[in-house]
């Protein structure tokens, strides 16, 4: 039976708020958090937003709009620490919690309101104050019969706002005139399809014929149609569904121009991939490598492994073989992904008849790194990337925050 | 390499502000924020707060009189080679929460390292230590040298 009320907790400009927790002198200042290469604003304070700074904007454009802003290097390890504290706060008030993203949580709010004399708004405010006191991070809270409505409510009340939608009249009021793009799951192409039939607001969306919505936006759109009516169809996921693929990679900063540099990036991303597979308890059957070059078409290669595995002893030689197929001499590599596919839970895989015993390399690596820091022991192939490993912000990425149901 | 350093008003003791007439360095980014003291390399006289003899003091940033170097920076490589030895420098810290380079203001975790050299009147002159920029620092500021930070940050070249 679905919960009668679902709450959505969303931290206000989370990365900036997290930085303000440990650096109070940032309060009131225009602040931008920069991505791993120092080129892009990945989060901004409300003060910077008021100046026109947008997420994803290059720093040289942001500086023109907000010349006195403070720019900060991202620190996902710290953000995860605060995120886990926030998760613990939410788990104090509900046994059914979804860790949606590093700064967003859904939970069954049925019990929450009973602890505040049946007043969900008071319950939401109380949680908000508790989270600010315990973690220092301001959050907005939305409570509604469905996930989609709860998220709309928290988004619409930022910063540090609360809203409890508990009646059909309140739902209608909340949806009236709200652009349909505000709904998570309706953006870009879907919004254009709706616009073509004259649907631009949420109230028009719910008033439309269900079959038309399904025709336009498939079953996913139909789910949103039900959710916006106040009929819960999207569940709270208390554990992360199994991945279809796991990938590690990204931008190569200023680029990798030599064979050694590019191979070093491949091995760095492989080690991160192995860590992730082992963290989630997966083994993989296929391994892929995708490299994009500045002045040359990108290359992708994939191989099926001789065994289903997650150990470096097997994946290392496999990725080196893929590298030979993807490497283009003399070209500047700009982006790459190492992708594990054909995932299975570890322990259920078909074992090899020629198994030579348990590989030790990863176990030894973890033994040292758990005590001395991530990447303290790493492959010698990564030696050309000293500048990357010496940067503390490169130790931990958003995708290393495990257990989130969204990205 | 470094255009300036910023301290919040809480960082500087009143006695220091009065003694060195630092009010002219006051800056208020906006109505909600704390007031700041900005020490820019282009200002005259060029001043910079440093830790010295166990307390925060104001030093000249570089020098306008020979034989001390004019620019307020010292290449870490040259210090390693002993080039500064005859000036008898001591290493200390500019404990600034923020710094400015290439028009970008950024946060520092524990400040930046500098050398202090005394002139004939025994007045302190500060020279911020520099090293080649890490890729991150270069991308952020477009400067090919960066300060030597007290805490490990921004990576290495």
- The pLDDT tens digits of the residues spanning A26-83 come to 999 999 999 878 889 999 999 999 999 999 999 999 999 999 999 999 999 999 999 9
Q: What is the mean pLDDT of residues A207-223?
A: 95
Q: What is the pLDDT of residues B93-137, one digit of tens each?
A: 999 999 999 999 999 999 999 999 999 999 999 999 999 999 899
Q: Do B136 and A391 touch (CB under 8 A)?
A: yes
Would you state the torsion angle of the CA atoms of residues A401, A403, A406, A407, taken in this order, to the nearest 10 degrees? Answer: 30
DSSP annotation string for A25-64: GGTTS-EEEE-TTSSBEEEE-HHHHHTT--TT-BHHHHHH
Contacts of A200 (CB under 8 A, 6+ apart): A179, A180, A194
Output DSSP code: residue B133. Answer: P
Binary contact (A253, B32; C-beta < 8 A) = no
Q: Which residue has the tokens 């500021």?
A: B141
Give dist(CA A9, CA A7) in Å, integer.
7
With 80 as the cut, is the pLDDT of residue B150 above it?
Answer: yes
**A64 inside 8 A of chain B by CB:** no
Describe the crossing of helices A259-280 and A312-326 by its angle, rounded to 10 degrees: 140
Mean pLDDT of the A309-317 span: 93
Say whether the peptide bond before residue A404 is cis (omega within 30 degrees of 0).
Answer: no
Residue B52: alpha-carbon gap to chain centroid: 13
- H-helix or E-strand containing B82? none
Query: pLDDT per residue over A73-104, tens digit each?
Result: 999 999 999 999 999 999 999 999 999 999 99
**pLDDT value at position A117?**
73
Q: How many CB atoms lie under 10 A from the CB of residue A209?
A: 9
Residue A401 per-residue DSSP state: S
Under the banding of pLDDT at 50, 70 and 90, the label for residue A360 is confident
CB of B17 within 8 A of CB of B23?
yes
Predicted confidence (pLDDT) per residue in A144-177, tens digit = 999 999 999 999 999 999 999 989 999 999 999 9
As for the ipTM of the complex, it is 0.92
Backbone phi and psi for residue A106, each to the nearest 5 degrees, phi listed first = -110, 145
Instruction: Please say if the pLDDT value at position B57 is more than 90.
Output: yes
Query: Whole-model pTM?
Result: 0.90
What pLDDT score does A391 carry? 84
For position A46, what pLDDT does the model report?
Answer: 96
Q: Which residues pair with B48 in a beta bridge?
A: B59
In this prediction, residue B138 carries a pLDDT of 93
> Cβ contacts (< 8 Å) between A69 and chain B: which residues?
105
**pLDDT class of A2 with cuts at 50, 70, 90:** low
Put simply, the answer to whether B29 touches A386 (Cβ < 8 Å) is no
Whole-angstrom distance, CA of residue B41 vs CA of residue B69: 14
Provide the pLDDT for residue A357: 66
- Choose from B3, B12, B104 for mutation: most chain A CBs within 10 A: B104
The mean pLDDT value for A335-360 works out to 84
How far apart CA A86 and CA A11 sit, in angstroms, is 9
Q: Which residues of A are catalytic?
A: 104
Q: What percent of chain A has pLDDT over 70?
A: 98
pLDDT of res. A38: 86
Q: How far apart are CA B27 and CA B30, in angstroms?
A: 9
Tell me which residues of chain A, numbers 225 to 264, contact chain B at a CB-CB cutoff of 8 Å: 253-254
Query: In this complex, which of B98, B135, B153 lies closest to A70 when CB atoms are compared?
Result: B98
- Termini Cα distance of chain B: 14
- Split at pLDDT 50, 70, 90, the class of A115 is confident
Q: Which residues of A touch B98 (CB under 8 A)?
A: 70
A355 or B153: which leads in pLDDT: B153
Q: What's the whole-number average pLDDT of chain B?
A: 93
Q: How many CB pairs under 8 A join A and B?
A: 92
Chain B residues inside the 8 Å CB shell of A394: 155
**Record: contact A388-B154, CB cut-off 8 A:** no
Percent of chain B exceeding pLDDT 70 equals 100
Q: What is the pLDDT of residue A359?
A: 76
**Which one-letter DSSP state was computed for residue A201?**
B
Question: Which residue in A321, A343, A338, A322 sits closest to A277, CA to CA?
Answer: A343
Q: Do B104 and A71 touch (CB under 8 A)?
A: yes
How much is the average pLDDT of B65-84? Answer: 92
A72–chain B nearest CA distance, Å = 6
- Scanning every residue of chain A, which has its alpha carbon at the shortest distance from the alpha carbon of B11? A25
Residues of A in contact with B33 (CB under 8 A): 27-29, 47
> In 3-state terms, what secondary structure has residue B37?
strand
Measured between beta carbons, the chain B residues lying within 8 angstroms of A29 are 29-30, 33-34
């Amino acid at each position: 039976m679905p919960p009668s009320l679902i709450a959505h907790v969303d931290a206000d400009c989370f990365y900036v708020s997290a930085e303000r927790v440990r650096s109070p002198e940032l309060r009131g200042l225009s602040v931008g958090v920069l991505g791993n290469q120092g080129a892009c604003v990945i989060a901004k304070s409300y003060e910077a937003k008021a100046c026109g700074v947008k997420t994803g904007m290059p720093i040289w454009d942001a500086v023109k709009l907000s010349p006195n802003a403070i720019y900060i290097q991202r620190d996902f390890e710290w953000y995860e620490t605060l995120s886990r504290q926030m998760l613990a706060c939410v788990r104090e008030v509900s046994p059914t919690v979804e860790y949606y993203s590093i700064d967003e949580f859904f939970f069954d709010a049925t019990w929450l309101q009973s602890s505040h004399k049946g007043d969900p708004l008071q319950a939401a405010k109380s949680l908000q104050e508790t989270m600010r006191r315990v973690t220092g991070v301001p959050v907005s809270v939305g409570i509604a019969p469905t996930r989609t409505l709860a998220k709309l409510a928290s988004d619409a009340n930022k910063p540090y706002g609360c809203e409890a939608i508990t009646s059909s009249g309140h739902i209608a009021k909340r949806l009236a005139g709200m652009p349909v793009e505000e709904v998570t799951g309706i953006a870009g192409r879907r919004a254009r399809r709706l616009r073509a039939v004259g649907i631009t607001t949420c109230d028009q969306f719910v008033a439309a014929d269900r079959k038309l919505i399904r025709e336009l936006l498939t079953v996913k759109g139909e789910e949103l149609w039900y959710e916006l009516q106040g009929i819960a169809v999207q569940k709270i996921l208390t554990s992360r569904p199994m991945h279809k693929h796991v990938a590690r990679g990204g931008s190569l900063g200023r680029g990798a121009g030599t064979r050694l540099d590019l191979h070093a990036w491949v091995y760095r991303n492989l080690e991160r991939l192995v860590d992730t597979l082992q963290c989630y308890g997966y083994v993989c059957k296929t391994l892929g490598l995708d490299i994009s070059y500045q002045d040359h078409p990108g290359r992708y290669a994939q191989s099926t492994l001789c065994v289903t595995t997650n150990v470096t002893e097997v994946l290392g030689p496999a990725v080196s073989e893929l590298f030979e197929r993807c490497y283009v001499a003399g070209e500047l590599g700009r982006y790459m992904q190492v992708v594990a596919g054909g995932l299975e839970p570890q322990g259920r895989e078909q074992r090899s008849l020629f198994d030579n015993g348990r590989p030790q390399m990863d176990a030894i690596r973890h033994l040292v790194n758990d005590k001395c820091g991530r990447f303290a022991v790493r492959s010698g192939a990564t030696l050309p990337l000293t500048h990357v490993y010496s940067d503390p912000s490169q130790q931990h990425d958003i995708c290393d925050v495990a257990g989130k149901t969204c990205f | 390499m470094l255009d300036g350093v910023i301290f919040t008003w809480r960082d500087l003791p009143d006695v220091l502000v009065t003694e060195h007439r630092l009010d002219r360095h006051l800056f208020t980014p906006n109505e909600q924020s704390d007031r700041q003291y900005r020490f820019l390399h282009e200002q005259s006289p060029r001043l910079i707060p440093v830790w010295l003899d166990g307390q925060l003091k104001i030093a000249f940033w570089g020098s306008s009189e020979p034989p001390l170097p004019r620019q307020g920076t010292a290449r870490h490589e040259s210090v390693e080679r002993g080039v500064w030895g005859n000036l008898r420098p001591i290493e200390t810290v500019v404990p600034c929460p923020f710094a400015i380079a290439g028009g970008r203001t950024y946060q520092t975790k524990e400040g930046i390292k500098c050398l202090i050299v005394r002139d004939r009147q025994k007045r302190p002159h500060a020279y911020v230590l520099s090293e080649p920029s890490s890729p991150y620092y270069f991308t952020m500021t477009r400067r090919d040298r960066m300060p030597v930070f007290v805490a490990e940050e921004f990576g290495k070249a």
